[in-house]
Structure 1
Amino acid sequence: MPRFDPHPDRRPTIIAGASSGIGEATAYLMASRGFPVALGARRVEKLDEIVARIRADGGEAVGFHLDVTDPDSVKSFVAQSVDALGEIEVLVAGAGDTNFAKLAESSTEEFEQQLQIHLVGANRLATAVLPGMLERRRGDLIFVGSDVALRQRPHMGAYGAAKAGLVAMVNNLQMELEGTGVRASIVHPGPTKTGMGWSLPPEKLEAAINDWVKWGQARHGYFLRAADLARAITFVAETPRGGFIAQMELQPEAPIVDAPTERH
Structure 2
Amino acid sequence: MPRFDPHPERRPVAVTGASSGIGAAIAQQLAALGHPVVLGARRVERCEDLAATLRADGHEAAAVALDLTDDGSVARFAEEAAAVHGPLEVLVSNAGEVWPQAVHATDPATFTRQVQVNLLGAQALLHAVVPGMVERGRGDVVLVTSDVVRAPRPLMGAYMTAKHGAEGMARAMQMELEGTGVRAGIVRPGPSSTEQGTTWSEGEVVEVVDEWNRWGLIRHDGALRPGDVARAVTAMVTQPRGTHLTLIEVEPEAPAVRRTHVPRGEHR
- TMscore range, shorter length: over 0.9
Task: Give the corresponding residue for 1:186.
Answer: 186
> d(CA) in 1 for partners of 2:65 and 2:34?
23
CA contact under 8 A between 1:150 and 1:164: conserved in structure 2? no
> How far did 1:261 drift?
5.1
Structure 2: 5+ residue stretches without partners: 1-5
**What are the within-5 Å matches in structure 2 for residues 120-135 of structure 1?**
120-135=120-135
AA partner of residue 238 (structure 1): T
The match for 1:155 is 155
Partner of 1:198: 198
CA-CA distance at 1:8 after TM superposition: 2.1
Match of 1:35 in 2: 35
Indicate the RMSD between aligned Cα atoms, in angstroms.
1.3
State the number of aligned residues: 259
Equivalence for 1:211: 211
Please tell me the residue identity of whatever aligns with 2:28: Y
Amino acid at match of 1:147: D
* Contact map agreement 1:7 1:240 (CA 8 A) in 2: no
Does residue 42 of structure 2 align to residue 63 of structure 1? no
Deviations 1:117-176 (A, max 9, x none): 111011011111111101111100111110012221011111011000111100000011
Sequence identity of aligned pairs in percent? Answer: 46
1:140 is matched with 140
Deviations 1:13-45 (A, max 9, x none): 010110011001111111001110011111111
The answer on whether the counterparts of 1:198 and 1:205 sit within 8 Å (CA) in structure 2 is: no
Task: Kindly state the Cα deviation for residue 7 of structure 1 after the two structures are TM-superposed.
Answer: 6.7
Q: CA separation in 1, counterparts of 2:128 and 2:106?
A: 31
**Separation in 2, partners of 1:69, 1:141:** 20
Residue in 2 that maps onto 1:95: 95
Structure 1: which 5+ runs fail to align? Answer: 1-5
Which runs of at least 4 in structure 1 moved beyond 4 Å after TM superposition? none
What is the rounded CA distance, in whole Å, between the counterparts of 1:196 and 1:75 in structure 2?
Answer: 26
Residue 240 of structure 1 aligns with an amino acid whose one-letter code is: P
Per-residue deviation, 1:198: 3.0
CA distance in 2, matches of 1:260, 1:104: 49
Which residue number corresponds to residue 173 of structure 2?
173
* 2:223 counterpart residue number: 223
- 3-state SS, counterpart of residue 222 of structure 2: coil
Partner in structure 2 of residue 250 of structure 1: 250
